[in-house]
Structure 1
């Protein structure tokens, strides 16, 4: 198991560490619900340094990115980020990722921890345009400082006006006494905040100063379990659960990041799928009765016929009810359609809803 630059701190704080994507990662500190509420109401910090980072540079950097991603990277200005995905040749998704435009001809691709090697090999295999590629995943740490008090709590650490930074914008600046830190108004929780990219050697200094600055704002360390409940309340896809090598971006409701104004890997087939219409769709649902939906539970109709599968599910801490995402046959995908989740021997009534489940 690999450690992040901060693993020793998580151990000191009494975190429960679990193996995740080849890393020792903190899954929780004081408990999922308490940590979830901290992020929804105050400010919490996740160590997500296991994520992967690739630098793509040179005059053909954009050409390579346009070829391997579904969104239109030509629209990204310097200082902006874009959510996108890497389609495979069979109609599925290699990974979802965020693309940062660092300079005129330099981009930072941030990929999921469990897919670093797979993504690197996939992008490399399509690099026939001579773009420069560097895998800097092992050199960088990433902190997600999330919650409604993040701006106020972190402002003393930088001269960048955090309150003026728009969603999916970023700046490279001094932060917590460290030069050249990427301060990005992104995150996976739906409660606002920032993601901080720094060299591993600076991670501990930044962590300590972040906690010092956030002390009077109720700042706490948060584990990956609360990250999962927070993202699910927003209806955000998790790779490996809700999207994978067999799910198309159109089935997953990612048509908004699938732009047919350019050619990309498998774009012809995806275009045909769009014209023909998908046969299954990723939907959000909430339980109308007691129960907790879980990954791989069957979704059935009133007669008990299988119509789909749960991909993510939980008891939503902010809502006090069972919620989930899952694929259903297209004819059952309309909002307010009644469905049932097969929880052991019980058919538990639910209805299709449009995420986000949690609304501020």
Structure 2
């Protein structure tokens, strides 16, 4: 008879050691080496910490298993990194600093929270480093340290829309907490919108009667709305006259001080030469020069804020005359620049928003 070979005890010990290494030591070492901070899963309604982790991904998985809409993830500094839904506060920097972002289509852009403080929160990246948000028609990602995340409540002052005298008014929040807003009439109100109703929208195309409906995409209009003045091309022709332009300044009581008063003919001469809409240029000049009263308009003849970048506004271009400024705007900035398909700044010949038009990079 053949004898059965006995497995040496040392072989069993080796196998056990290998198993411990594979299933215990190595995983534990990997976990320790990949720790990326301290994260807390918290219910914001009660301030109760439900769990804590050394890895953001584990905190995120825990958050996904909770039913409460108030659940969030915070880091060791108490900064909210992720919510189930909420708002993004963009006003976290000085007015001279922009917040840069990368769109879902991999284009770069920027916003300034001092001119528009709120955005719709869409989510946080898998590692907790980037925030996904929606504002002015664009969906984009920015560094978590550029923004603050909040659960929406009635005390927050958000950007909204309403109808007044058949006009659509866009009220833009410049501070979520202080209630500072800028209200602008942007054109005739669409027929589906009613007076005495507040509407929410972060693209200007679809509207919602409250923020919860916006989050759940329960929109008022089935078809998208496109504001006429926002999407009319610069290559159209205007036939307004000097009296219409002056009447606009008269209603603000600035006719004696504004450098734009009695300047309609200047814009029409440039329109005839370069085929750039005179009224659109005049409207932009009104906006960028504070109705023709800004220091740069008065001293530099700079009506459009050319080169007056946020980081250094005193870098603004100086022109010999208003005529020279308007000429440079029509030819160099528009014809050869923002309206030129071969220029990197081209996104369409209309004013638009952050998704299309000259406002993407202006």
The reply to whether TM is greater than 0.5 is no
Between structures 1 and 2, the one with greater strand share: 1
Max Rg structure: 2
- Shorter-normalised TM-score: what interval? under 0.3
The structure with higher relative contact order (CA 8 Å, sep 6+) is: 1
